[in-house]
Amino acid sequence: MGKRVVIALGGNALGNNLPEQFEAVKKTSKAIVDLVEDGYDIAIVHGNGPQVGMIQNAMTELVRSDPERYIPCPLSVCVAMSQGYIGYDLQNEMREEMLDRGINKGVATVLTQVEVDHTDPAFTQPTKPIGAFMTKEEAEQLVRERNYRVVEDAGRGYRRVVASPRPVSIVEIDTIESLVSTNHIVIACGGGGIPVFKTRGHHLKGAAAVVDKDYAAACLARQLNADTLIILTAVEKVAIHFGKPDETWLDHMTPEEARHYIASGEFAPGSMLPKVQAALEFAESAPGRKALITLLEKAKDGIAGKTGTLITA
């Protein structure tokens, strides 16, 4: 595979709270530095579902405790906060892991804005789960008190959902390109990026939304002219007929096969579906591009062609 890689980290790579994140990024950093050691130039995109929900809930409680002193915090600002504290942990652990292996390479987090279309239908149809899982009773209380939209999420409980528009372009792409080209690992588009849209002149306004990190990673990979997009998740390969007696794990998918499985409803929305769609979009965006979906722990084997699901045009 080519040497420029964009990696999309799934939630299992970060944990659900600060103590879990601190431990999770140690394992995550080892897996990524394995690829650095093999000579790959890497940009990293991470999710922020639990983290951005936690931040917004904390901000909401602060406003509730003293409304004369504090004002509500927009979701776009909460996404920016999550980029900072997740990036802080990741870049510190990766720097330590590289130095322990004698690798002298810079790593930096870029606070990244992602342009979205303010007319995207997603703004009227919220689907993106954020925050912690809740019981039905807790979810109903948030609906009554805060007018949140909630959904039952894959049998694991209830979660708040917000708009998830598709990314149009990466605002800080030139900065990210410069860093990758000068031997730096870059953590960018954290949580899918801070969603913004153009208003008057050159002004960018934050949107009340969360961009799916897999679509953001595919967008970044295209604009960086990456060779490979790696989407790391909780399973080693993509499956069809998942959880059924005829469950089948896939080593490879062509774009035609991927579209057929998507149309057949094989992949769960909010789970495997955006991963396959993002991988498909990137693989088809230019000749020779590849997308890989696999486990974090199997990233090195996956990029070597030993495991995972590979999508190629």
Residue carrying structure tokens 């590979």? 310
Q: Does the active-site annotation cover 298?
A: no
- Which residue of the set 11, 157, 206, 270 is catalytic? 11
Verify whether residue 275 is a known catalytic residue: yes
Q: Distance between CA atoms of 179 and 43, rounded to whole angstroms?
A: 9
128 among known catalytic residues: yes
d(CA 147, CA 286): 43
Residue 104 catalytic? no
Options 275, 298, 302, 308, the catalytic residue: 275
Q: Out of 131, 190, 213, 290, which one is annotated catalytic?
A: 213
Tokens 């936690």 identify what position?
A: 54
Q: Kindly give, in sequence order, each residue whose CB lies less than 8 Å from that of residue 151, ignoring residues fewer than 6 positions away.
A: 127, 129, 158, 159, 161
Residue 246: exposed, middle, or buried by beta-carbon count in 10 A (0-12, 13-18, 19+)? exposed
Catalytic residue among 10, 16, 49, 128: 128
The structure tokens listed for 287 are 């000749």
Which residue in 10, 12, 15, 49 is the catalytic one?
Answer: 12
Helix (H, G, I), strand (E, B) or coil at 203: coil
Q: Parallel, antiparallel, or unpaired for β 4-9 and 113-116?
A: unpaired
Q: Is 11 a catalytic residue?
A: yes
Enzyme catalytic residues: 11-12, 128, 213, 275
